[in-house]
Amino acid sequence: MTEERPARLDVGVVGTGRVGAVLGAALARAGHHVVAGYGVSLTSRTRAGALLPDVPLVDVPQVFARAGLVLLAVPDDALPALVEGLAATNTVRPGQLVVHTSGRYGVGVLEPATKAGALPLALHPAMTFTGTSVDLQRLSGATFGVTAPEPLWPVAEALVVEMGADPVRVAEEHRALYHAALSHGANHLVTLINEAMDLLRSAGVAEPDKVLAPLLSAALDNSLRQGDDALTGPVSRGDAGTVASHLAEIAAARPESVSTYVALARRTAGRALAAGRLKAGDAEALIDVLAEPPSAL
């Protein structure tokens, strides 16, 4: 028996940036009709031309007038005012699906549109975007943080699955914490890796990415599979002398990285202690080394 596909929707995209253009293309690939888009910058309009060919770029009211589902892919800080303005100008139609892609907000931010009769969904892709067709492949197996009124959960689930991803429910009151977790993991990982590459360059390593790639890939895989049991290295062993030498060398080569090392080493020590990887007796000298203010190192 062939499973009946959900109804095809006329889709409008407000914000044809990295996220909006890619998700619009993913919905089009699933058989929906992207009928209009809105982009301001030259980059956004160029991206729309590449990922959403033949889709007319019009103003925001026209996007809403043409679409049964409107995707709001705008910066977090711009979203509340945008929604309020749309409701105040009677741009939103009753029964229209209004979907935002912000990780920070749930459906509460769409309340002005909901009061106007819109059907609100919050669909946040938990991945980083390049704004190219490569992202369409990365969506396969990715996760979306979904917040939706219970009657609309099947709609939200269907849209995410059609884009090739997996939906995960996020309660309205936990939306900001969910987003903080993703930002802490992904954005700070980029900072950490780049600091490590800078230190390797200071050590004379010409291609630090090649040195780090196997090590970091294994560490990430082990962390996701084993949690704190994946901890290794001098901090988890309580090797205070090695940590002290690290701090001295970093202070000489890249003093701006000392505070990052100390903060992460302290947190690593705390997790290692809690997990039983680091014995309290072995931690005393380590804690003394890490307790010293970075400016004094």
205-253 pLDDT, tens digit each: 999 999 999 999 999 999 999 999 999 999 999 999 999 999 999 999 9
Residues 58 and 97 in one domain: yes
* 124 pLDDT above the threshold of 70: yes
Q: Which domain holds residue 146?
A: 10-170
| pLDDT (average), residues 149-156 | 97
Do residues 106 and 204 both lie within one domain?
Answer: no
CB atoms within 10 A of CB 104: 18
Identify the pLDDT of residue 6: 54
- What local confidence, expressed as pLDDT, does residue 282 receive? 85
Picking from 142, 137, 146, 79, the residue whose alpha carbon sits closest to that of residue 113 is: 79
Do the domain assignments include residue 159?
A: yes
CA distances from 8 to 28, 29, 104, 154, 230 (A): 10, 11, 28, 15, 46
Query: Do 133 and 240 sit in the same domain of this protein?
Result: no
274-283 pLDDT per residue, tens: 999 999 988 9
State residue 141's pLDDT score. Answer: 87
Residue 21 lies in a domain: yes
| Residue 240 vs residues 231, 244, 247, 269: alpha-carbon distances, Å | 16, 6, 11, 11
% residues pLDDT > 70 (the chain): 96
Q: Is 239 within the bounds of a domain? A: yes
Q: Are residues 137 and 249 in the same domain?
A: no
Q: Strand 69-72 to strand 10-14: parallel, antiparallel, or no bridges (unpaired)?
A: parallel
Angle at 153 between CA 152 and CA 155, to 5 degrees: 70
Whether 152 and 159 have beta carbons less than 8 Å apart is answered as no
CATH number, domain with residue 52: 3.40.50.720
**HSE-CB of 35 using CA atoms within 13 angstroms:** 16
Count other C-beta atoms under 10 Å from residue 105's C-beta: 21
Helices 280-291 and 258-275 pack at an angle, to 10 degrees, of: 160
DSSP state of 119: E
- Helix axis angle, 175-202 relative to 240-253, nearest 10°? 80
Residue 5 resides in a domain: no
Q: Is the same domain home to 125 and 262?
A: no
- Overall domain count for the chain: 2
Percentage of the chain beyond pLDDT 90 is 92
Predicted confidence at residue 1, as pLDDT, reads 37
Model confidence, pTM: 0.88
Who's near 186: CB < 8 A, 6+ residues apart? 128
With residue 121 as reference, give the H or E element that holds it: strand 119-125
